[in-house]
Amino acid sequence: MTDSNQYFWVVLCKNHRFHSRQNLFFAHKIPLAETDAFLSPPALDDRLKVRCDDCGQEYAYEPKEILRAQLDSLGSFTPHPLFRDC
């Protein structure tokens, strides 16, 4: 049995009004970079701006808002520029 799930650093989109129409109980996760189940979060000194892949809105996020999530395989995925060298 193969597992098609992978771990990603994500932020939760702040455009709650748009995403609550799609799923009332879960926030939309925006993947930033691939990771594993054990790696520590990257050390970021400042806020980062992220554009949602679904609603298109861009918001600023604090480093403490970065979460690890297990998602289905994304296929072709481009990491956020701040995570390309991590």
> How far apart are the C-alpha atoms of 2 and 56, rounded to whole Å?
33
Three-state DSSP at 45 gives: coil
Give the range of the structural domain holding residue 54, as residue numbers without chain letter: 5-83
Q: How many domains does the chain have?
A: 1
pLDDT in tens, 18-42: 888 777 677 899 999 999 989 888 8
Q: Which pLDDT does position 1 carry in this prediction?
A: 42
N-terminal to C-terminal alpha carbon distance within the chain:
31
Q: Which pLDDT does position 63 carry in this prediction?
A: 92
> How far apart are the C-alpha atoms of 80 and 77, rounded to whole Å?
10
What's the predicted TM-score (pTM) here?
0.82
CB 42 within 8 A of CB 79: no
Regions of the chain where pLDDT drops below 70: 1-4, 24, 84-86
Q: Which pLDDT does position 44 carry in this prediction?
A: 85
